[in-house]
Structure 1
Amino acid sequence: MATWAEFTAEQPDMAAFVESRFAADRHALIATLRRDGAPRISGVEPDFLDGELWAGMMPNSLKSRDLRRDSRFALHCMSTTASMTEAGDAKISGTAEFWNNKDDYLKNLFDRTGWQPEPEEIDLFRFDVTEVVQITVEGDEMAVLSWHEGKGTRRVSKK
């Protein structure tokens, strides 16, 4: 698994695009796997900080329990228009690691936002990535740039 910093070092332009799409609307969607293997979609606010991708969630929420049981996830930015002509789209997949030492993250969160939950009020996860996808509209084509760990990038254009 690659850290966000490792992906960024390999694909800086793509990483900047993806981060900008997630920053455009802090709310995103995360797919996790239920106990029976069925997918679950939940809201989440991903956070790119110091070369890492993080997300905090309510303690013992369904998505948190899903990730602690099966760490695989898919994250999707909020698409604001059906045509995607204005900003594009971004997706990230990989694995999540439950993070016990929250002090540094919570201090930084407070410094940036003025909000600092108590450590017991948040389940914190750090994400490693195996796939990142950038989708843009260029003229009358949809351009899909995908990166897979160990395989580099592939670009596909579709009319």
Structure 2
Amino acid sequence: MTSNWAAFVAAEPALARTVEDRFGAFTHHVLATLRKDGSPRTTGIEVRFLNGELWLGMMPGSLKALDLRRDSRFALQANPGSGTEMAGGDVRVAGRAVEVRDPQEIARYAEVVNPPDLDAFHLFRAELTEVVRTYIEDEKYLAVQLWKPGAPLRTTRRT
């Protein structure tokens, strides 16, 4: 089961706001994709939250775009910063990337993002399979929040 960003926001607005804030704290994040041979590839990426979707835009012919065209599964981790910027905790999103080819949808994205070449970029919309937040709670617990489409938010705490 997957969910778009808007459905996640509706289901868990506080967690969604925290995740967006963590991604908004830095420009560059880490995307994991799968190579042809099934081994992982990690690369840098910028992400956008627009019109109820989480967007992944990529340069034309980039290896990460080719990976996603072949196998849409991905994991995305927000830039953790130098260690002191972890307000809100560590956040990760996983799911499937759906390539967008509709010219109107691409134009709507490009109006906001202004890519260097309107005719030369790959655009993917994220369909979420899970969202995870790990953080320190009350200075004594390691807390892990896990959300999956169709399931309630689950929080686990460890001392």
**TM-score > 0.5 by shorter chain:** yes
Quick check: 1:147 aligned with 2:151?
A: no
1:72 shift after superposition: 0.4
Percent sequence identity over matched residues?
42
Q: Could you list the per-position Cα deviations for residues 5-42 of structure 1 after superposition, in whole angstroms to 9, with x for gaps in the alignment?
A: 00100000000000000000021100000011111000
Computed over aligned residues only, the root mean square deviation of the Cα atoms, in angstroms, reads 1.5
1:94 shift after superposition: 0.5
Unaligned stretches of 5+ residues in structure 1: 111-115
Secondary structure of the residue aligned to 2:116 is coil
Q: Is the 8 A contact 2:31 2:42 kept in 1?
A: yes
Query: Which whole-Å CA distance do the structure 1 matches of 2:112 and 2:59 have between them?
Result: 19
1:131 shift after superposition: 0.1
For 1:142, the aligned partner's letter is L
TM-score, normalisation: structure 1? 0.91
The residue that corresponds to 1:122 in the other structure is 121
1:52-63 maps to which residues of 2 (within 5 A)?
52-63=53-64
1:124-139 maps to which residues of 2 (within 5 A)?
124-138=123-137, 139=139
Segment drifting more, 133-142 vs 4-13: 133-142
The residue that corresponds to 2:13 in the other structure is 12
TM-score, normalisation: structure 2? 0.91
Secondary structure of the residue aligned to 2:153 is strand
Query: Which whole-Å CA distance do the structure 1 matches of 2:46 and 2:129 have between them?
Result: 20
The residue that corresponds to 1:113 in the other structure is none
The residue that corresponds to 2:108 in the other structure is 104
